[in-house]
């Protein structure tokens, strides 16, 4: 039994493109969860979810819509970026550890949003699950022989090995909350390969993750 499990927030952004400073956030999704032990295995336990469209100052390019299936009509009445990131920060709370797959991308867009919409910047640590995956499973390759640590590839692999509970639906990928649920499952499955139950305690988890490149970054530094 984990006496004091940490609170995590797996989050994901959908954007108008890949260039921070030019492109903008159009959706924020997040899943707040903790961990518990079931049948001798550490598993995630969802507490609540967050999802909001964000109204950008630009039209959504067709290339972006083809990936995330978000259209201009869907964001027309959405909160503006300043309100959206404030609501996201309130959802996360001060004591949560944030997780993102390729955190440099998501963090850079959040930093840009805070720069353009000045307000209190939360100080939560943000941990990159992609760096953890590359450290724990450095040999992982796809059918072409190329190294692959993409979230969907990891989720499908863990599902085949019966290491995650959720069903994987490729049609739902690249929508923020679904990707967050996948991230939650993949993150726990990855670290379960290396961490002991006591490592999942609030007082131990940051140090335990750091051994596997789970070194936090911060929006306010």
Residue 108: the pLDDT is 97
What pairing do the DSSP bridges indicate for beta strands 41-53 and 25-38? antiparallel
Question: Which positions of the chain have pLDDT values less than 70?
Answer: 171-175
Residue 172: the pLDDT is 66
Instruction: Kindly state the tokens that stand for 213.
Output: 């490149």
Instruction: Kindly state the tokens that stand for 140.
Output: 């992982």
Distances (CA, A) of 88 to 27, 72, 139: 11, 21, 35
Residue 165: the pLDDT is 86
Residue 112: the pLDDT is 97
Residue 1: the pLDDT is 81
Task: Give pLDDT tens digits for 87-120.
Answer: 999 999 999 999 999 999 999 999 999 999 999 9
Residue 164: the pLDDT is 92
Clarify whether 174 is annotated catalytic: yes
Do the beta carbons of residue 99 and residue 124 sit within 8 Å?
A: no
Residue 200: the pLDDT is 97
Provide CB contacts within 8 A for 142, sequence distance 6+.
148, 153
Residue 180: the pLDDT is 95
Residue 174: the pLDDT is 60
Maximum distance among all Cα pairs of the chain, rounded to whole angstroms: 50
Residue 154: the pLDDT is 95
Helices H / strands E in the chain, number of each: 8, 5
Provide CB contacts within 8 A for 118, sequence distance 6+.
none
């Amino acid at each position: 039994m984990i006496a004091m499990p940490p609170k995590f927030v797996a989050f994901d952004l959908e954007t108008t493109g890949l260039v921070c400073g030019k492109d903008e956030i159009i959706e924020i999704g997040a899943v707040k969860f903790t961990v518990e032990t079931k049948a001798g295995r550490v598993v995630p336990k969802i507490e609540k979810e967050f999802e909001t469209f964000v109204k950008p100052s630009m039209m959504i390019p067709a290339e972006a819509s083809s990936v995330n299936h978000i259209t201009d009509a869907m964001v027309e009445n959405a909160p503006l970026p300043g309100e959206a990131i404030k609501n996201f920060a309130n959802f996360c709370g001060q004591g949560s550890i944030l997780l993102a797959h390729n955190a440099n991308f998501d963090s850079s867009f959040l930093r840009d949003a805070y720069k353009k919409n000045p307000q209190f910047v939360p100080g939560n640590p943000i941990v990159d699950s992609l760096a953890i995956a590359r450290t724990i499973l450095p040999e992982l390759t796809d059918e072409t022989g190329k190294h692959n640590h993409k979230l969907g590839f990891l989720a499908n692999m863990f599902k085949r090995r019966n290491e995650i509970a959720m069903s994987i639906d490729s049609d739902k990928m690249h929508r923020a909350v679904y990707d967050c649920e996948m991230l939650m499952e993949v993150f726990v499955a990855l670290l379960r390969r290396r961490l002991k139950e006591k490592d999942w305690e609030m007082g131990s988890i940051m140090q335990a993750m750091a051994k596997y490149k789970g070194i936090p970054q911060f929006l306010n530094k």
